[in-house]
Amino acid sequence: MAAGDLTVLQFSTQSTANLTAKVHPLVIFNICDCYVRRPDQAERVIGTLLGSVLPDGTVDIRNSYAVPHTESAEQVALDIEYHHNMLVSHQKVNPKEVIVGWYSTGLGVTGGSALIHDFYSREVPNPVHLTVDTGFRNGEGTIRAYVSVNLSLGDRQLAAQFQEIPLDLRMVEAERVGFDILKTMAADKLPTDLEGMEVTMQRLLALIDDIYKYVDDVVEGRVAADNSIGRFISDTVAALPKLTPPAFDKLVNDSLQDQLLLLYLSSITRTQLGLAEKLNTAAQIL
Partner 1 sequence: MAASSTARSFLQVAATEEVISPLRVVQIEGLVILKIIKHCKEFSPALVTGQLLGLDVGSVLEVTNCFPFPIREEDEEIEADGANYQLEMMRCLREVNVDNNTVGWYQSTILGSYQTVELIETFMNYQENIRRCVCIIYDPSRSNQGVLALKALKLSDSFMELYRANSFTGEKLREKNLSWVDIFEEIPIKVSNSALISAFMTELESDTPVTQCDYDRLQLSSNPYMERNMEFLIECMDDLSMEQQKFQFHYRSLSRQQAQQQTWLQKRRAENMARKAAGEDPLPEEDPTNPIFKPIPEPSRVESFLITNQIANYCNQINGVAGQSFNRLYLMKSLHDN
Q: Can you tell me which of 158, 179, 223, 231 binds partner 1, judged by CB under 8 A?
A: 179
Site for partner 1 contains 248 (CB under 8 A):
yes
d(CA 50, CA 2): 46
Give the integer Cα–Cα distance in Å for 63 and 49. Answer: 6
Query: Residue 160 CB, nearest distance to partner 1 (Å)?
Result: 28
Q: Which stretch binds partner 1 (CB under 8 A): 5-13, 28-36, 52-60, 148-156?
A: 28-36
The yes or no reply on residue 232 touching partner 1 (CB under 8 A) is: no
Amino acid at 9: L
**Site for partner 1, residues 56 to 95, rule: CB under 8 A:** 62-63, 65-66, 68, 82, 85-86, 89, 92-94
Query: Is residue 182 at the binding interface for partner 1, with CB under 8 A as the rule?
Result: yes
Contacts of 167 (CB under 8 A, 6+ apart): 20, 21, 22, 23, 143, 144, 145
CB of 78: closest distance to partner 1 in angstroms?
13
According to DSSP, residue 43 is labeled S
The C-alpha atoms of residue 25 and residue 37 are separated, in whole angstroms, by 19
Per CB under 8 A, does 6 bind partner 1?
A: no
Please count the residues of this chain forming the interface with partner 1, following the rule CB under 8 A: 86
Nearest distance from residue 130's CB to partner 1, in Å? Answer: 14
Task: Answer for the pair 148, 158: CB distance below 8 angstroms, yes or no.
Answer: no
How far the first Cα of the chain sits from its last, in Å, is 111
How long, in residues, is the chain? 286
122 contacts partner 1 (rule: CB under 8 A): no
Please report whether residue 11 would count as binding partner 1 according to CB under 8 A: no
Q: Interface residues for partner 1 in 31-60 (CB under 8 A)?
A: 32-39
